[in-house]
Amino acid sequence: MKNILVVIDSLNFTESQLEPVKYISRLARGRITIALLEMPPSPLPVLIPAIGDAMFYSDAATEGNIRERHEQIRANTEKLRAACLQSGMDITLHTYEKSCLEAVIRESRFADVLLVQHNLSLAALRDSDPTAFIRELLLKAECPVLTLPGNMQVIKEVVLAYNGTYSSVYAIRTFFHLFPLLALRKVKVIYVREKEMQYIPDDLMLRHYLNGICRNVDYLVLSGSPAGNLKIYLQYRKHTLVTFGAYGRSRTSRFFNGSAADDVLGLNHVYTFITHP
């Protein structure tokens, strides 16, 4: 049985977040550990823009907000436990209040896959897309990471981003080891032409490997910007999961620098699977 680590922000938890978690856990046939993050509020005063000047919360107002925050976290934790019990999900719950990212990275060392909402952010103010937390998690996680869409999507198509490197093949191989049932879905390999490589690298070996795993595989060769073309392809395709072989660790291909994965992570409706050799 596979170990699935799920990262949830305790302050912003909703029951709908559990739907894709249940779906993926069934596909992977895994047991679930939830890392419930309780990021403490910033000690700095909250700045509120006003007409012509700026105002700050008073200490009393800040204390009131902190109490309200703690009450919301307690309520959400109980809601999470109740929802898991009602749906028959047997979970292990770990709560972290400090050094949340470091704690998740440590737990990921003992997980087969990590599930996280694609836009999870522990920042007090509006964050980037993907968020700083997600960027750091993708860079440092010690197991594959699967980002979840904003609402429940049954996976009907798997897109394999391929560039001929070991990292891209490693991601494909790891993905199908984790989710063998998804090899029965429609699978599409996407390769974007590099200057020095106009055709799919190791085409025959790739086809031989995938034909032994997948029922239905198509191949698509594109030209131009990997990030732009892949985003255009996925823009209006729901029920889709895409794999990447690396995130920010290698510049060996334009396909796997930050921009291509970042653009796809910005799509609210796509599952994104990223791992490192």
Interhelix angle 258-265/226-234, rounded to 10 degrees, is 20
Those residues with Cβ within 8 angstroms of residue 68's Cβ, 6 or more apart along the chain or in another chain: none
By DSSP bridging, strand 157-161 and strand 240-244 are parallel
pLDDT for 76 equals 95
pTM of the model: 0.87
Burial track 162-182 (b if 16+ CB lie within 10 A, e otherwise): bbbbebbbbbbebbbebbeeb
pLDDT for 48 equals 45
- Mean pLDDT by runs of 10 across the 277 residues of the chain is 95 93 95 89 49 46 76 94 93 92 96 94 68 89 94 94 91 97 96 79 96 95 78 88 78 50 80 91
* Residue type at 216 in one-letter notation: N
